[in-house]
Structure 1
């Protein structure tokens, strides 16, 4: 075998080895990762911090936050639609509270346009009526704005069977308004037995016009008390006049000894 053939054979063997090495290295490489679908997002206007009921909105109270487009409700304010929304909403009044990070919805805001806060948050057709309360008649200071209450009137009526004036008056109580929303309550801290207690003196209720008239008449005829309702009763059906519960204290005389009993109808 001559020298030329040996050189060609060596080159061929070397080239084959290199090709085999490269082929084995290529087979061990991991497969390229599948492309990840890009999540569609949009900028939504949210509350930067908590916004309380009746609070006037300032630019610092709002900020833009990135949200997935698929979960952004149509009621949300998007930067793509209203880039100047922060300025547009400045000065609006919160008809309901917002928590930090909650998307801003204009249904929960109202422009006062020079009116006071109460007129701004009062729904159409409703009236704001205030009346005095005491710690005893106002659930001991536990009633707060947006709570629901029943209004009870208590009257002292002269006993019709008491000609000599010796028998006590008849005490009559009845519920005159049910499931009434508290708009505001005048509260001031008061020192009581070494502890701070919150006591309200005036409560403002959200009433229909006929309910406002009822409250005004009954307030002159007796003493008003508020009964705090459970938050679960917010959507309860109101009691009509025919369904009202009337209670009165009646004096019963047995064997010459008077006693008190409660009658209900």
Structure 2
């Protein structure tokens, strides 16, 4: 073979080997560039006074029960206590009584608090209402089987003897009638708040929130008969109820409209 051909063949072999070496290299492809996500915008916040733990109705608030917590400015309502508007809000609220329960982290609102210089029942009683206690049976015969709890709504039923019917017929006659409807229960015995949904009937009295006129009706009804409580559904709470007149006898009947009792003739 001619030297020129040998030279060309040698050059081709060297070039091919070099190309094969370069193709089999261990160099890895460059890693993809990952762009970091931009940080979320920082929302302006203001310190708001909140409950440091769950607070129950009637609890006297102490400093350990409260704390300042950053709150987004756009979520602050006029009822919140802020460090900007009330720097001594924590100290001012300490000693107040909770008129209703607070969840942990819930903002403290003055509308749900009462001053501690009065009795507890007076603190949780709504404005214009009166607290009246009636005698009930803790075994449940006059309190819906013992399932009536604080903050439930009930109807009041009066049971009494019909003296006129007894004189006319000679036999004892008992009459039951609803005298008030949709009445809020403030306390059962000495318990003013439901605990874990359990039966909390521990006494012989039930305290009701009544208007002055309703308080007079209930006080008189206790003197001339026996009162029982009829538990209302949560769906029916706040709805006006009209009691149909009783057609027995010729005397009067009590008709209840919007929680107000009124006497009218059966005729």
Q: Are 2:151 and 1:151 equivalent residues in the alignment?
A: no
**For the residues of structure 2 that align with 1:34 and 1:92, how far apart are their CA atoms?**
46
Aligned mate of 1:221, from 203, 221, 224: 224
Q: How many residues align?
A: 212
Contact 1:141 1:199 in 2 (8 A): no
Which residue in 2 is equivalent to 1:4? none
Which residue in 2 is equivalent to 1:125? 128
Specify the SS of the correspondent of 2:229: strand
**For the residues of structure 1 that align with 2:35 and 2:176, how far apart are their CA atoms?**
83
Which residue in 2 is equivalent to 1:260? none
Gaps of 5+ in 1: 1-24, 189-195, 251-263
Q: Are 2:119 and 1:95 equivalent residues in the alignment?
A: no
Give the structure-2-normalised TM-score.
0.70
35 and 52 in structure 1: CA distance in 2 versus 1, 3 angstrom threshold: closer
Which residue in 2 is equivalent to 1:79? 83
Gaps of 5+ in 2: 1-29, 192-198, 250-265
Of 225-234 and 96-105, deviating more is 225-234
**For the residues of structure 2 that align with 1:117 and 1:197, how far apart are their CA atoms?**
19
Contact 1:173 1:248 in 2 (8 A): no
Q: Are 2:62 and 1:66 equivalent residues in the alignment?
A: no
Q: Are 2:55 and 1:51 equivalent residues in the alignment?
A: yes
Specify the SS of the correspondent of 1:232: coil
Contact 1:172 1:248 in 2 (8 A): no
**For the residues of structure 2 that align with 1:84 and 1:161, how far apart are their CA atoms?**
69
Specify the SS of the correspondent of 1:200: coil
Give the structure-1-normalised TM-score.
0.70
Aligned mate of 1:139, from 137, 144, 147: 144
38 and 210 in structure 1: CA distance in 2 versus 1, 3 angstrom threshold: same
Which residue in 2 is equivalent to 1:244? 243
Specify the SS of the correspondent of 2:42: coil
- State the 1:33 CA deviation: 6.2
Q: Deviations over 1:137-175 (max 9, x none)?
A: 11222112211111110112146376673xx32221111
50 and 106 in structure 1: CA distance in 2 versus 1, 3 angstrom threshold: same
**For the residues of structure 2 that align with 1:201 and 1:173, how far apart are their CA atoms?**
21
Q: Deviations over 1:197-243 (max 9, x none)?
A: 84431111111111001001111111100111122223212x4xxx3
Which residue in 2 is equivalent to 1:14? none
- State the 1:94 CA deviation: 0.9
- State the 1:80 CA deviation: 1.8
**For the residues of structure 1 that align with 2:111 and 2:164, how far apart are their CA atoms?**
54
248 and 52 in structure 1: CA distance in 2 versus 1, 3 angstrom threshold: farther
172 and 66 in structure 1: CA distance in 2 versus 1, 3 angstrom threshold: same
Contact 1:170 1:248 in 2 (8 A): no
